[in-house]
Amino acid sequence: MLKKILFSGLFLMSSFSMIAQPVNINGAMNSIFASPVIEEGKRNIILQNRCGNRLTLLVFDDKTSLEFIYKPNAFRRKEYRARNFSNRDNFTLLFPEASLPMISNGNIASYEYDPFVTRLKIQNQHGARNEITVVNVADENMFALSASAPTVLTFKPHRQFAVTSSLLYEKFVDRGEEIVSFVAFRNMEQNRFRVLKDGTYVLQLFENDVIFIGGEENEYQMHRAIHRFDEKSLEEIIAENERRLAPQMNQGRIYYRNPDFQRVLDINHRVVYSGIDEGGACFGALNRIYYLIWVRDGSMTASLMARAGNPGLIKCWAPFLLNNPNVVRRQDGTTAKEFLQIAGTRWTRNEDDGIYYAVMSLYTYFKTTGQDDLFSGDPLPVLIEAVQNYLSKNWDSNRKMVISSTIGETPLRDDPYFGYDVVNGNYEHNDYHLSQGKELRRSATLYLQVNTYNIMMMMTELLSCRSDLDKGLSAQYLRIARELQETLRKVYYDKANDCLYSAIEFYADGTEGTLNFKTDNNPWEGSWACSVGPFFPVPDLQLKTARVIYSTWPKITKQGYGYCPWNTLGGMLYEYGLGSSRYEEMLSLEIKEANMLTRKYPMPGALTEYSTNPEGWRGLPFSAGSLFFSMSGHIIQSLPSGIAVRASEKVDSI
């Protein structure tokens, strides 16, 4: 229980006298380019707060480090700078050092992971036991930490903490933002507060003492947040947190008959909610390397969750994305609004699927919520401009297809930033620009053709709500859609395998070729092209292609098939004849590996990214979105305009 500390005149006078105006710190990064971008702990748990702050527990052999990364509060600050203030490549630590010195890899007996309440069961070699509880406070930019038995918590400030009888805090400035980091505890006596010679601040706690740790923009917001929990026990704090989560967690919950599947569905429902903050920023996964706001990942997460009966997240994501296009400066000095790989910044790869996901976001927002407020402002005109820029850059009017200077997220020889990872600004060298033993100059994937067809169809429908913006665009879009249908049937039909080609390829030596799905060993995008929609230009051939990928991918993959596209593929196949038992078998490895307690990321229940690689990244909102979208199809199926309802052997209700 926390002693009341707020708004006492004596307290305010004493605290103001102890700390000067905020000072600039030297920053949190050790090198020009963030390193390491993979958590260095033997075991690592990442908790993302919906206000913006992030806590990573890095478990080592001799201690557990606590990494607190700061973002301004998303309930108040929704502008792009605030939502992207800290990310993989540029971030601010609330404390340069924080740790649990008595908690280490060797004495954690079990991990009970949950995105909002995680517990570590401790037992050392002599039999001493403890339980560490970390609460990710759902609507405050802070975390609560508790211990049932004695343990130690340490911190170091950037310069100097202001100290009161129950609070440590430091006011500082980093990259133009005024920040207040804080640690609120019971009192100096009860928690044995002291400072070591090396400047380490020490607190001891047990009997389920609750320590609040976080960061805010000013002292008022710090005191307000702490005051909410005055005198509340750990159990009361958790119960209040769950009450605030309940409206979202009770919406769109899938009741599946297999308990292993149900556990994964329930915990990933919570993963997704923690992974999109209240300002709309969505992260690729709960780890450092994916700590970026991907247009594709956020759009797929929010849109597929909405189509599965969870429209709340698209209400956050769509306004954020659509009001933050990429403003790109061309080689001739002119600028263009586009939607590429990373939302809202020029530091992005020229990934040409971003515009599809931006259009999908507005389309899904309108169709699943019924709200048309985004039609009245900038989003639709900005989308129109971005679509026209996309077509002018990629549409080949002679070949009637989209041809791109990227493959996936990799720039090809024709791209002006070939050889760079523009997201972090460093050089990049890999072999992703090679295909079938040749160097690619440009590529026309099935994925981009299907995406473009969907862009044309969705934009035509959206423009019907704003006829004043049409000006002949609908006719243009419908013409391109028809031409793409014809191209897919005539040019992309792989007669030998009775399905579609994965890509038409244009090589640096001036020759051309085709890539088929019998040899494409990583068909993430091809799977999505056959199974996401919402419109299907050649549904018979897309279904045949989905069946070829399903039977071929697991046999030829080098790194395991990707669970996100595997989920949507499963949904498509179930829709057209794959029985419930075979569907469950198709997803059984994903569920098994999600429920594993792995070493690098001991977050059981959280989805992994690739089959047969359970030690990889965990907690991927876009994979969770695809799982919900796929499984919801057993009882309700989203259509471009409306839903279809059916009985199910496996899903009891939503």
* Least confident range of 2-11, 24-33, 277-286, 597-606: 2-11
Structure tokens at 267: 């915990």
What does the pLDDT look like over 234-267, one tens digit per residue?
999 999 999 999 999 999 999 999 999 999 999 9
Cα angle vertex 598, ends 595, 603, to 5°? 60
Report which DSSP code applies to 4: P
Q: Which domain holds residue 177?
A: 9-244
For residues 165 and 284, state if they share a domain. Answer: no
Choosing from 223, 244, 265, the residue where a domain stops is 244
pTM of the model: 0.94
For residues 147 and 260, state if they share a domain. Answer: no
Q: What percent of the chain has pLDDT over 90?
A: 89
Q: Structurally, how many domains does the chain consist of?
A: 2
Distances from the Cα of 169 to the Cα of 163, 164, 182, 223, 392, angstroms: 7, 9, 4, 11, 53
CATH number at residue 332: 1.50.10.20
Count Cβ atoms below 10 Å from residue 374 Cβ, excluding itself: 20
Q: Is residue 1 part of a domain?
A: no
Task: Give residue 17's pLDDT.
Answer: 38
C-beta of residue 568 within 8 angstroms of C-beta of residue 575: no
C-beta of residue 623 within 8 angstroms of C-beta of residue 641: no
Which residues, in sequence order, are bridge partners of residue 410?
407
Q: What b/e sequence results for 615-634 when a residue is b if at least 16 CB atoms lie within 10 Å of its CB, and e otherwise?
A: ebbbbbbbbbbbbbbbbbbb
For residues 279 and 347, state if they share a domain. Answer: yes
SS3 249: helix
Rounded CA gap, 174 and 179, in Å? 8
Rounded CA gap, 326 and 304, in Å? 23
Choosing from 215, 244, 273, the residue where a domain stops is 244
Identify the helix (H) or strand (E) that includes residue 528.
helix 524-531
For residues 227 and 320, state if they share a domain. Answer: no
C-beta of residue 283 within 8 angstroms of C-beta of residue 292: yes
For residues 337 and 373, state if they share a domain. Answer: yes
Look at the block and give the residue holding tokens 């009882």: 635
Which residues, in sequence order, are bridge partners of residue 427?
420
Instruction: Name the H helices within 323-467.
Output: 354-369, 379-394, 446-463
Q: Is residue 3 part of a domain?
A: no
What does the pLDDT look like over 83-92, one tens digit per residue?
999 999 999 9
What does the pLDDT look like over 89-146, one tens digit per residue?
999 999 999 999 999 999 999 999 999 999 999 999 999 999 999 999 999 999 999 9
Helices 621-632 and 295-307 pack at an angle, to 10 degrees, of 30
Q: Is residue 250 part of a domain?
A: no
For residues 587 and 492, state if they share a domain. Answer: yes
For residues 168 and 284, state if they share a domain. Answer: no
Task: Give the mean model confidence (pLDDT) for residues 593-621.
Answer: 97
Q: Is residue 409 part of a domain?
A: yes
Report the length, in residues, of the chain.
654
Residue 267 corresponds to which amino acid?
Answer: I
For residues 485 and 563, state if they share a domain. Answer: yes
For residues 239 and 284, state if they share a domain. Answer: no
CATH number at residue 94: 2.70.98
Choosing from 184, 218, 244, the residue where a domain stops is 244
Rounded CA gap, 378 and 385, in Å? 11
The contacts of residue 436 (CB under 8 Å, 6+ apart) are: 505, 513, 515, 519
What does the pLDDT look like over 146-205, one tens digit per residue?
999 999 999 999 999 999 999 999 999 999 999 999 999 999 999 999 999 999 999 999
Task: Give residue 641's pLDDT.
Answer: 79
What does the pLDDT look like over 402-454, one tens digit per residue?
999 999 899 999 999 999 999 999 999 889 899 999 999 999 999 999 999 99
Task: Give residue 28's pLDDT.
Answer: 78
Distances from the Cα of 619 to the Cα of 56, 63, 115, 603, 628, angstroms: 13, 24, 9, 8, 14
Task: Give residue 8's pLDDT.
Answer: 40
Distances from the Cα of 416 to the Cα of 331, 371, 406, 412, 441, angstroms: 9, 40, 11, 9, 12
For residues 234 and 331, state if they share a domain. Answer: no
For residues 348 and 448, state if they share a domain. Answer: yes
Q: Is residue 118 part of a domain?
A: yes
Q: Is residue 2 part of a domain?
A: no
For residues 464 and 326, state if they share a domain. Answer: yes
Count Cβ atoms below 10 Å from residue 419 Cβ, excluding itself: 11
Q: Is residue 4 part of a domain?
A: no
Report which DSSP code applies to 587: H
**For 454-480, what is the HEC assignment?**
HHHHHHHHHHCCCHHHCCCHHHHHHHH
**Taking 80 as the threshold, does the pLDDT of residue 12 lie above it?**
no
Which residues, in sequence order, are bridge partners of residue 174?
177
